[in-house]
Chains A and B, each alone.
Chain A
Amino acid sequence: MSRTVDKLVMMANQIGKFFVPQRDGDPVAAIADHLQKFWDPRMRAGIIAHLAAGGAGLDGPVREAVGRLKKPSA
């Protein structure tokens, strides 16, 4: 796993740690929405590819959220 992917996993898990404790709405949707809105396509592509390759290190809800991401067009 490259350093970049490690970093993406860490960042995604960090996002998860904020949204999981929220008591309004669906945390998985919130995580996915955040990734969609703030991550550039190559970052999203990177994390999607990482999930496809097993998604090592991704926390449960984050994993689920990455699974819901649309594959970026670029």
Chain B
Amino acid sequence: MSLVQEIDYGTPASKSTQTVTLTIDGNPVTVSAGTSIMRAAMDAGIQVPKLCATDSVDAFGSCRLCLVEIAGRAGTPASCTTPVAAGMVVSTQTERLKQVRKGVMELYISDHPLDCLTCAANGDCELQDMAGAVGLRDVRYGYEGENHLKLEKDESNPYFTFDASKCIVCSRCVRACEEVQGTFALTIQGRGFDSKVSAGAFGDDFLSSECVSCGACVQACPTATLSEKSLIEIGQPEHSVVTTCAYCGVGCSFKAEMRGEELVRMVPYKEGKANHGHSCVKGRFAWGYANHKERILKPMIRESIEQPWREVSWQVAIDRVASEFKRLQGKHGRLAIGGITSSRCTNEETYLVQKLVRGGFGNNNVDTCARVCHSPTGYGLKTTFGTSAGTQDFDSVDQSDVIMVIGANPTDAHPVFASRMKKRLRAGAKLIVIDPRRTDIVRMPHIEADYHLPLRPGTNAAILNALAHTIVTEGLVDEAFVREFCDRDAFEHWASFVSEPQNSPETVGLVAGVSPAAIRGAARLYATGGNGAIYYGLGVTEHSQGTTAVMALANLAMATGNLGKRGVGVNPLRGQNNVQGACDMGSFPHELTGYRHISDDATRTMFEKLWGRPLDAEPGLRIPNMFDAAIDGTFKGLYVQGEDILQSDPNTEHVVRALAAMECVVVQDLFLNETANYAHVFLPGSTFLEKDGTFTNAERRINRVRKVMTPKNGMADWEITLAIAKAMGFEMPYSHPSEIMDEIAKLTPTFAGVSYELLDKEGSVQWPCNEKAPLGTPIMHIGGFARGKGNFMITEYVPTDERTGPRFPLLLTTGRILSQYNVGAQTRRTDNVVWHQEDVLEIHPHDAEQRGIRDGDWVKLDSRAGGTALHARITDRVAPGVVYTTFHHPDTQANVVTTEYSDWATNCPEYKVTAVQVSPSNGPSEWQKEYAEQADHSRRIATKVAAE
């Protein structure tokens, strides 16, 4: 194994389709028009010395090392900023250039520490390389002149240091922060010799600045100035493995750079087709949880949740699972147990869990955490378009003219894609944001939404109908598109429905609390502004009308012809790394892989034949139904892989009752999560670094996950499921996850062409990948919809039953924050806590004033479901009447207050609307104290207790 070295072409690739031929150092070179001379030279294998150029940012022309001579032109132009021209004759090595380059390097080194041997970048330093390349032998200026060698090191960021004394002021970090990340946290302060890189305003350090710790600056730095602390501590890596991030649904490719079994750093991979070399604070830095002291590495069992855990062998633990499950089925029937797959786990692992449930348990009681996030997406898009997935690839956003972000907060939850989106917005695309809260993207450096519709939580369907009303009644429908690709009757019915007065912006405006003019303006912009792309998240799906709203979005896109090409589409931003994959893999109780209903005899028979097991044709229980059945006493045993249902599912008290009512709860996870407090068997899981497999991201891209280290718990997650199946008498003969994928491909038409061989060759592919599309399908529905004709659905607005009233006058909506991920099991166990140590309640100054609440006060948050307490943050990001919090910390348990109301079609919980009251408080609630006590009690481990 060796270190994966990526070529730096110096400047970004030209997008031109025309080519130009020129001569560089006597070699004819043909490149796209607009390519820099530097990049063209690189194409010809000629490395022009450079320091300020790197291909992730635009050419800058400041280091003056890459100068070349061009026949017939005066002077020595920089090859990074000079584009090629036909017939140009370029020399990259002449006596004059040699002298100038040496002169420039001599200047650089006259203001640089001479500590190469003890420098963290030793061996991976471009300055060092260039000094060698130009043959610098002497610094005649001496070292006693003015210099920056005594500047202090900024170590405020938990993950990287900024050593100003080593800075060569190439601005790569500043430009990466602007161009790649779009945060504009860094700047050059001062002029001339006093120029220095500075985070934010005078006196700020990296941590107190606007920096979001995405790592783009560290990545761009050619010296040791910006270095990962882990690199400084461990040293240069010696090998690397390309794998896929296990955080959000963007699915970034990373190089895991290793020294032996030790991870030195995660470096975003330029060839990664989802992230193109960019990263965020989670994927780039927050992997320390993999070695966290709280990670459980031995299987454990107990008879009741009152007892402490006992560490046992894998054999004992697996046998306990099998015998308990068999016992429960014997006593309570075949349908009394089930399993939950995880969107955190690989496709292969997910597939195995549903196979275990269907084939091994003999029922369809399998569900996945997508139930509580994007299940309405599957249902809604399948009904309208025919495919349960987003329509575009991420690159498509580069061609969008109007971007509509609804119920999504990409800069926090999907930061790497958000950076792409922001880049496009800075280049001039228009922006419509529909969100109760003023999310960051509404106004950021060089970005301002053309329309922000701060709707009342729960009124998505109404607003979307009002947008449709405007489009239809103002004659903005793309008639040609509708005529050619959509069901005519369905369109006519829909058009007459949305034209009705109750859907007019004027009427809806009153319900949703949004100005009718803004609704009309946004509708006109989306319909007529060129390529219109919709990006949405859980703010759309997690409602009693989640599915309706997804369909309403699909209707809008169809009516305006914004489908079937680049730059458009309906794009769900998936919360977790493998939400798409978990859904694709047949995790839902009613369908097999590739979204085929379990009642379909032909499909079922195919699976039965290959698996050698009879399958139940009846749909199984969905997660909320499992809880209800558990409380009713008909559901007794559950195998939960990699999901913390107690913290993440709504109405915590209800979930607690359900878990407590079960006789055998098996939790497979890295940590003793909240669900494990009610578990009887704990199976230690493996991290994404410890296994092979695939994740499918929000753009249907199947990315490889590659094992970079041995599982610390002794088994990869897929092997654990195999062991359980075997113990239950259901043999699954796989020796490697690639064989599982081969089986998936065999059974699933949309995956027919997928294999590890293909993924290794292509890097990744987007399904459908089969005979018709051997290299996958970046854009769906080109030249017609998967289901045939596009299907408009009537999306009548039905207000949720969750209503505000005198007791609960405020509406709570929930969301995420950049530094934390989901229930925080991983990120809370990293230094990311410096940015977000606790969940806080955002409340409008008006509502706070009325209640006598000051910023930072403890407040009680009560709903009909329950109550908790947390600190208040007073902000006008939320409208009066709306409060907001995140759900990353179990100490707060935001889901204590959320209710069991759910989407009509999929039972996806209505996390986004809860009627609440907020009142001053002295500290944590009684419930929180009791819960904390119970959790401590439940997490005791007998062997450790004895040893202590």
Contacts and interface: CB of A to CB of B under 8 A. Distances in A.
On whether the two chains bind one another, the answer is yes
Interface string A51-74: 000000000000000000000111
A2 to B, nearest CB: 8
The main secondary structure of chain A at its interface with chain B is helix
B134 to A, nearest CB: 69
Interface residues of B, number: 38
A74 B801 contact: no
Contacts of A7: 628, 900
B814 interface: no
B589 A22 contact: no
Interface in A8-49: 10-11, 14-15, 17-18, 21-24, 34, 36-43
A4 B631 contact: yes
Contacts of B900: 7
Contact of B618 (A10, A18, A72): A72
B625 A21 contact: no
B47 interface: no
A43 B618 CA distance: 12
Contacts of A37: 590, 597, 599, 619
Contact of A17 (B489, B618, B634, B796): B796
Contacts of A41: 335, 618
A15 B547 CA distance: 11
B619 A40 contact: yes
A59 B599 CA distance: 27
B625 A43 contact: yes
B907 interface: yes
A68 B257 CA distance: 61
Contacts of A3: 631
A39 B619 contact: yes
The main secondary structure of chain B at its interface with chain A is loop
Interface string B618-632: 111110010011011
B139 interface: no
B548 interface: yes
Contacts of B620: 40
B904 A14 contact: yes
Interface string B580-624: 000000000110000001010000000000000000001111100
Interface residues of A, number: 26
B905 interface: yes
A47 to B, nearest CB: 12
A17 B797 CA distance: 9
Nearest to A7: B628
Given A23-B794, A43-B625, A18 B335 contact: no
B904 A11 contact: yes
Contact of B796 (A21, A39, A40): A21
Nearest to B906: A38
B618 A40 contact: yes
B544 A38 contact: no
Contacts of B902: 11
A7 B794 CA distance: 25
Contact of B794 (A2, A21, A39, A74): A21
A14 B461 CA distance: 15
B493 interface: yes
B632 A17 contact: no
Given A24-B493, A37-B599, A43-B625, A11 B907 contact: yes
Contacts of A43: 621, 625
Given A24-B493, A34-B905, A40-B619, 6 more contacts: A38-B619, A38-B622, A40-B335, A40-B589, A40-B620, A72-B618
Interface of A: 2-4, 7, 10-11, 14-15, 17-18, 21-24, 34, 36-43, 72-74
6 contacts: A17-B798, A18-B905, A22-B793, A37-B597, A40-B335, A42-B621
